[in-house]
């Protein structure tokens, strides 16, 4: 990578319920992923969260963390996506 960064954007969207932030944060911590920035809000009972995370310490394959986030999303009834920032930047460039 030219930038030298190993960061990603995680988005979480779904019906609000207790514990979403805690469970997502715990999964990330358990996999040595640091949260660099986080923004969350609730819009008419819809929970939305965007996280910038550092994948430098990740000890498993990125595809495995994607699978774990997808499983957690199913458990919580929310949609969780992760995109490497290089891909995110390319997709959202005008």
List pLDDT tens digits, range 18-34. 999 999 999 999 999 99
Residue 55's SS3 state is: coil
Residue that wins the pLDDT comparison between 94 and 44: 44
Strands 34-43 and 78-84: unpaired
Mean pLDDT over all residues of the chain? Answer: 90
Cα–Cα distance, 20 to 89 (Å, whole number): 26
Neighbouring residues of 31: CB distance < 8 A, sequence distance ≥ 6: 58, 59, 60, 65, 68
List pLDDT tens digits, range 4-20. 589 999 999 999 999 99
Q: What percent of the chain stands above pLDDT 70?
A: 87
> Residue 79: how many CA atoms within 13 Å on its side-chain side?
6
Note the Cα 85 to chain centre separation in Å.
11
**Dihedral sign computed on CA atoms, order 27, 30, 32, 37:** positive
**Residue 80 confidence (pLDDT):** 98
């Amino acid at each position: 990578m030219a930038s030298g960064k190993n960061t990603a954007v995680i988005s979480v969207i779904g019906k609000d319920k207790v514990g979403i932030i805690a469970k997502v944060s715990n999964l990330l911590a358990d996999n040595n992923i640091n949260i660099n920035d986080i923004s969350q809000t609730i819009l008419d009972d819809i929970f939305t969260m965007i996280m910038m995370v550092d994948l430098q310490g990740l000890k498993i394959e990125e595809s495995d963390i994607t699978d774990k986030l997808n499983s957690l999303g199913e458990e919580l009834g929310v949609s969780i996506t992760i995109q490497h920032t290089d891909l995110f930047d390319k997709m959202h460039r005008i």
